[in-house]
A and B are shown apart, each in its own frame.
Chain A
C-alpha cells in the first residue's frame, strides 16, 4: 500500500482536532479570564528508505503527523473596566483561589458576589480565598479591599470547566488585584477565525492528496497490467 495515503489521512485527523480546539476557543471569546488552548502537532518517526538491491540509503520519509498535546496559554489577559465593586481582575500573572467541593481550585474569572453570610463567593457560590486560605468578608457597604484577595502562582494550571483550574499553588504570584475590572478572554477572535480557515484548507489539501494517490493506484491496478488490445 502507498504510505502516502496514511500520511495524508493522519494530516486530516490532526486538522480535525485542531479545528475542534479552535471552535472551543471562539465559543469562549466572552468568557472572563479564559485562556485559549492550542493543539500541538508532531511528526511520527521518520523511516529510512534504502535501495533493496544495493543497500544504498535513498533518504528518509516522514510517516505523517499527530496532534498529541493540548497547550493552554498562560499569558496574562488584559483587564476590562466594569465598574462593579465586586468584580476583580489580576493585572499580571496569578490566579484567585476558590474553595470548591473538590478542594481548592483557581480561577481568573473575578466576577464575584456576596453570599448570605457576607462572604465573597464566585458565580458558583464557592468561597473566594485570601492568601492564607481564609474566607473573605464583604463589608456592610458591599465592598472588599483588593489586598484581602489572594493571588496564587499556579504553574501548569489545568482547565476544569466553569472557569476553574487545578494545580499546585506555589506561593504568591507577582500580579496585583484591581477592583471594578475583569480579565478579558485571552481569545483573539480574528486570529482564531483565520486559523480555522487555514486549518480547513489544510484539511482539504489532505483530501486532495488522498484522491490523487487513489487515482494513481487505480491506474496501477487497471492500466499497467492490461494488454492494451488494438
Chain B
C-alpha cells in the first residue's frame, strides 16, 4: 500500500529538481556565456509485490531526476563595441588562472585589464597564456582578430587560446561563470574551427520560452503527483474505517 505513496512522492521530488534547475536558468537569462542545465529523468527500481497466486509482480517504485550536463548550443551574440569583449563563435572555452591556481574554463568573454595591464575575466582571473598590455597602451588600442591574435598599436601581444574537452557535460561548474576540468570531462585540447569576435558578447543560451513551458509542465506534473498522494491517503482512510 505505502509503495504507491512513496512512488508519488518521488515523482514530486523529481519535478522539484527540474523546477530548481529551470529557476536557476531563468535567473541567468542575462549572464554572458551561461549554459543552461539539462535535467535527466529516470525510473527507479522495480520491486516484486507478492500476489495471491504466489507469483511476484515487479511494480515500479517511482522516479528520480538529476542534472546531467550543460547545453552546448551557442547563445545569441550581442554587439557591445567594447574592445575587450570577445564572443566565441563555435565550440570551446577561454582559459583563465583562478585564485587557487587552478585552470578555469569560461565562455564569458567580458575581459578587462588589471593594474599590471594583464587581460583578465570579470573576476580578475588572468587569461592563460597570459597577455599583458605594454605600459601606456589603453584597451581602446587593442585589436583581436578571429584567430585570437591580440595586438596593440600594431605590436603583437599574444594569442587568446580557445580550448575544449571531450565531454563538456562532465565539467564542474564553479559558480563564478567558470568550469573546472574533471577526470570525467577529459583533458583540454585546442578547439577546432572556433573563432573570436571582438566587440561582441555571447548571451546566455537559455531559451526563455522553452524554460517557461518546461516550468509549467513541471508544475502541473508536480500537482498531479501530489493528487496521487491524496488518493493513496484516501485509500488508507477507507481501509481504516473498514471496521467501525
Residues of A participating in the B interface, judged by any CB pair closer than 8 Å? 10, 12-13, 15-17, 19-32, 34, 37, 39, 44, 66-70, 83-85, 109, 111, 113-118, 123, 125, 138, 140-142, 158-163, 185, 189, 192-193, 196-197, 199-200, 203-204, 207, 210-211, 214
A15 CA / B241 CA spacing, docked (Å) = 17
Which residues in B have their C-beta under 8 angstroms from that of A34? 41, 43
State whether the Cβ of B192 lies closer than 8 Å to any Cβ in chain A.
yes
Q: Let me know if B170 and A189 touch, CB within 8 A.
A: no
State whether the Cβ of B118 lies closer than 8 Å to any Cβ in chain A.
no
Q: Let me know if A68 and B51 touch, CB within 8 A.
A: yes
Range of interface residues on B (Cβ < 8 Å)? 35 or more
Q: Let me know if B167 and A162 touch, CB within 8 A.
A: no
Instruction: Report if A70-B43 is in contact (Cβ < 8 Å); known contacts: A27-B11, A83-B73, A142-B72.
Output: no
28 A-B residue pairs with Cβ-Cβ distance under 8 Å, sorted by A, are A16-B4, A16-B235, A19-B232, A19-B235, A20-B1, A23-B232, A27-B63, A28-B62, A28-B63, A29-B221, A29-B224, A31-B41, A37-B60, A44-B52, A66-B51, A66-B52, A68-B55, A69-B57, A85-B72, A111-B68, A116-B187, A161-B42, A193-B224, A197-B231, A199-B231, A204-B238, A207-B241, A211-B242
Residues of B participating in the A interface, judged by any CB pair closer than 8 Å? 1, 3-5, 7-8, 10-11, 14-15, 18, 38, 40-46, 49, 51-53, 55, 57-63, 65-66, 68-69, 71-73, 91, 165-170, 183-187, 192-193, 217-218, 220-221, 224-225, 227-228, 231-232, 234-235, 238-239, 241-244
Classify the interface of chain B: helix, strand, loop or mixed: mixed
Instruction: Report if A68-B52 is in contact (Cβ < 8 Å); known contacts: A12-B239, A28-B41.
Output: yes
Which residues in B have their C-beta under 8 angstroms from that of A141? 91, 192-193
Q: Which single residue of chain A is at the shortest CB-CB distance from B217?
A: A30
